[in-house]
Amino acid sequence: MIAEISPAETQRRIDELGAWFQNINLNGVQTAPRHFLGDYPAVKFQRFAHALPPDLTGKTVLDIGCNAGFYSIEMKRRGAERVLGVDFDERYLAQARFAAETLGMQIEFRQLSVYDVGKLREKFDLVIFMGVLYHLRHPLLALDLIREHVARDLMLFQSMQRGSTDVMPVEQDYDFWQTQIFDRPEFPRMYFIEHRYTGDPTNWWIPNRACVEAMLRSSGFDIIAHPEEEVFLCRIKTSDAETDVGRATRQAKQSLGT
């Protein structure tokens, strides 16, 4: 049942919860009507929504870095049986809870870092990992942990990208003296942000497209669709690579003392 509050009260609560990054239509009231990217993330979602199953009846969804809950809400609209949104920022979670309550949707939200997804002790049919990778100091570890602990089947992934959008075929191995490949813009690479990018101190790593694809494969995912420039729909691999991913994850966690 949709919560019956007036537009004026809805606006008051939106303002009370602080600046919103996601623009969500709450019964006719927009949470971020002056977003610098327009009606975001709805305008982006329209470009790849067709790649996701239209009917998620009986499925479970984990939305990592859920922000104000836009994608959690959209997956619930598709009939997902259970949707769990997690974020490290309690302010975003308060926004998400208010949005879901206002729209009359039963969605669970919990404060949790992507590095701690193993604590959920549960795997999900669809994992959403949108707009998080470039905010992480340890992005590959995060992908490994998702694959090892919470991904049962599909993962919807997105990252900001910079550099070349071309992808070159890479060899299984390279000679020590073969250095020219590193000068090619389409070789997988990550740009490290020491200070800030667009004024945001949490922007740490920005990959090119080849790097995104390589990292997803390395973490045990097969890319099954690329419906939008920054978006990839993946399915977990069922090969022996899974064992390698698990071993790499454990080694990384040990080195970090976690």
Is 15 among the domain residues?
A: no
CA distance 78 to 53: 8
Which helix (H) or strand (E) segment holds residue 256: the answer is helix 241-256
Q: Answer yes or no: is 70 within a domain.
A: no
- What gap in Å lies between CA 177 and CA 154, rounded to an integer? 39
pLDDT at 5: 86
Give the distance, in angstroms, between the CA of residue 69 and the centroid of all CA atoms in the same chain: 12
Q: What is the pLDDT of residues 46-95, one digit of tens each?
A: 999 999 999 999 999 999 999 999 999 999 999 999 999 999 999 999 99
Contact in structure between 68 and 57 (CB atoms under 8 Å): no
- Domain assignment present for 240: yes
Residue 143 forms part of a structural domain: yes
pLDDT in tens, 185-205: 999 999 999 999 999 999 999
Tell me the sheet residues that pair with 86: 64, 110
Domain count, the chain: 1
Residue range(s) defining the domain that contains residue 153? 113-164+175-256
**pLDDT number for residue 243:** 46
151 within 8 A of 236, measured Cβ to Cβ: yes
- Please check whether residue 157 lies inside any domain of the structure: yes
Q: What pLDDT digit, counting tens, does each position of 4-25 carry?
A: 789 999 999 999 999 999 999 9
Residue 48 lies in a domain: no
Question: In this structure, is residue 150 part of a structural domain?
Answer: yes
Is residue 71 domain-resident?
no
Q: What is the mean pLDDT of residues 201-222?
A: 97
Residue 27: pLDDT over 60: yes
Model pLDDT, residue 238:
81
- Return the percentage of the chain with pLDDT > 90, whole number: 89
The tens digit of pLDDT for each residue in 145-187 reads 999 999 999 999 999 999 999 999 999 999 999 999 999 999 9
CATH, residue 219: 3.40.50
Please state, in angstroms and rounded to a whole number, the distance separating the CA atoms of residues 112 and 239.
30
Considering the chain, what is the average pLDDT of its residues? 93
Rg for the chain (alpha carbons), in Å?
19
Instruction: Name the least confident of 79-83, 100-104, 222-226, 250-254.
Output: 250-254
Task: Write down the pLDDT at residue 225.
Answer: 97
Q: What is this structure's pTM?
A: 0.90
